[in-house]
Amino acid sequence: MSTFQGYRRANGSVGVRNHVLVLPSVMCANNVVDRIGRAVPEVVIVNHPTGCSQVGADFEQTKRTMAGFAANPNVAAVLVVGLGCETNESKALATEIAARGQRVAVIGIQDCGGSTETIARGIAIARELVREAEQHQREMCDLSELIVGTECGGSDGFSGITANPALGYAADRLVAEGGTVILAELPELVGAEHLLAARASEPVAAKLYELIERVEARARAMHVDMRYGNPTQGNIAGGLTTIEEKSLGAAYKGGSTALREVVEYAERPSERGLVVMDTPGQDIEQLTGMIAGGAQVVVFTTGRGTPTGSPIAPVIKVATNTTMFERMRENMDVNAGAILDGSQSLEQVGDEIFSWILDAANGRTPAAETLGFGDFAINRIGPSF
C-alpha cells in the first residue's frame, strides 16, 4: 500500500499543501484582496468576476465552487473578503465554509469603512492565519485519501495514443490502491460515453447519458456545430478532426476501472474509484471545479503546451509529444512522447506519472507550481442580471 506525508485537517480530510487562501466573495473585493496578497506573500489569493447579480442554479453553483475550493484540504485557513451589498453575502459564504470544517475569517469593505482599513485588518488577520498554519505538520497518510483530477488541454493527435493512455495506466494504479480519480470535461466525452457507461451501474450510466444529452442540447439550442469551438483551432492543427475523435482519446485518462459515480460541477465525490464530474472542456473552469470537488493533485496532459496551474494544488504536466516537450521544457514535467520515440513503454510513463503524483503529494513542486501560476475561474451556467 502506498503512503504519503500529508496534512490531516480537523474534519479528517488530508491536504498535500498548507496554504492560507484570501478569497473575494464578489469581484468588487478583488483589488483589496490583491493588496492583502502583496503585503503578505505567504498567502495565496484568487480573483474572479462573479458573486453578484446571480440567481438560481447559476448562483448555487458559484457558491458551491467557492465553498468547495476554500474547504479543499490543501488550504489550512481562509480569509473571505466581501463588499457588503453583494448577492453572494460574505458572512453566509464563511458560514458555509465553516460548515465544511474549515478554519475561516471574514471581513467586509463597507463594514470596515473603506478599502484602506479593510486592507490593514485583512493583513493582520492573514498574518495570524499564516502563523497558525505554520503549526501544522505533515504525517503519514494512506493513498486512499487522495483525489486526483485528470485533465487534458491543448490536445493533439498524439493525446489519445501517448499521454492519456499513460495517465489512464496511473489512474488504474491509484484506484487499485483505494484512491479516487476524477474524469471531467463532459463535452470531451461526447462520442465516448458508451465506453464509460458499459463500466457503470445502471443509475450511474443513466446519469452520464443525461449529462451528455445536456451538452448536445446546448449545441442544438444554439444551432451550432460544436466543432466550431471544440475541438479548438489548435486541436485541429494538431490533427483532431471531430469532437468524437477528441473524446475517444480524452476518455483514456480515466483508465479502465468501473465508473463509480457521476457528480455535478464542484461537487465532492462520495464514492472512491473512478468518478466523472460535469465540467466544461474549458481548462481553467474545469481545473477549478475538480479542486472545489476536493482534488488535491491534478495531472494535466497537453499536446500543444500550456502553462496552467492552480493557486492551491500541484498540477503535473504531461507532454504528448517530444517536440513540444523540448520546446516548452520549463512548463512540462513528464514526456509521454517517449512512448512514440520508443525510449519508454506506455507502462513506464504511466509508472512515472504515478510516482510524480506521490512525489507531488509529499511536497515536490511541478513546473506550474514552481513558476507560481495560479489560475482560477468558476463555470457560469446562467446570465448576470
Partner 1 sequence: MPLSNDGAALRLKDDDDVAVVLRPLEQGDAVRFGETAVIAAAAIPSGHKIALRAIPSGALIHKYGQVIGRASTPIASGEHVHVHNVEGTRGRGDLAEAAS
CB of 242 to partner 1, least distance (A): 4
Q: Is 226 a binder of partner 1 (CB under 8 A)?
A: yes
Q: Is 234 a binder of partner 1 (CB under 8 A)?
A: no
Residue from 243, 290, 357, 367 binding partner 1 (CB under 8 A): 243
As a whole number of angstroms, the distance between CA 358 and CA 297 comes to 9
Q: At what angle do helices 283-292 and 56-70 cross, to 10 degrees?
A: 70
Lookup: cell for 55: 440567481
Residue from 27, 92, 124, 195 binding partner 1 (CB under 8 A): 195
86 or 156, CB closer to partner 1? 156
Residues 6 or more apart whose Cβ sits within 8 Å of residue 140: 3, 4, 5
Residue from 153, 249, 294, 311 binding partner 1 (CB under 8 A): 249
Q: Is 254 a binder of partner 1 (CB under 8 A)?
A: no
Residue 233 burial (CB < 10 Å; 0-12/13-18/19+)?
A: exposed
Residues 174-193 contacting partner 1, CB under 8 A = 187, 190-192
Residue from 1, 10, 140, 221 binding partner 1 (CB under 8 A): 221
Q: Is 348 a binder of partner 1 (CB under 8 A)?
A: no
Number of residues near partner 1 (by CB under 8 A) = 36
Q: Is 223 a binder of partner 1 (CB under 8 A)?
A: yes
Specify the stretch interacting with partner 1 by CB under 8 A; choose among 53-61, 74-82, 222-230, 281-289.
222-230
Q: Is 278 a binder of partner 1 (CB under 8 A)?
A: no
Residue from 84, 178, 239, 363 binding partner 1 (CB under 8 A): 239
Lookup: cell for 308: 496552467
Q: Is 214 a binder of partner 1 (CB under 8 A)?
A: no
As a whole number of angstroms, the distance between CA 120 and CA 172 comes to 49
CB of 347 to partner 1, least distance (A): 14
CB of 150 to partner 1, least distance (A): 18
Residues 118-177 contacting partner 1, CB under 8 A = 156-158, 160-161
Q: Is 337 a binder of partner 1 (CB under 8 A)?
A: no
- Nearest C-alpha neighbor of 188 from the set 315, 289, 302, 280: 280
Lookup: cell for 217: 442540447
Residues 6 or more apart whose Cβ sits within 8 Å of residue 255: 167, 168, 169, 170, 171, 172, 175, 181, 274
94 or 219, CB closer to partner 1? 219
Q: Is 255 left (phi over 0), alpha (psi -120 to 50) or beta?
A: left
Please give, one letter per residue, the 3-state secondary structure of 312-345.
CCCEEEEECCHHHHHHCHHHCCEECCHHHHCCCC
Does the bond joining 231 to the residue before it have cis omega, within 30 degrees of 0? yes
Residues 297-326 contacting partner 1, CB under 8 A = 303, 321
Q: Is 338 a binder of partner 1 (CB under 8 A)?
A: no
Contact between 272 and 45 (Cβ < 8 Å): no
201 or 241, CB closer to partner 1? 241
- The binding site for partner 1 (CB under 8 A) comprises 156-158, 160-161, 187, 190-192, 195, 215-216, 218-227, 230, 236, 238-239, 241-245, 248-249, 303, 321, 340
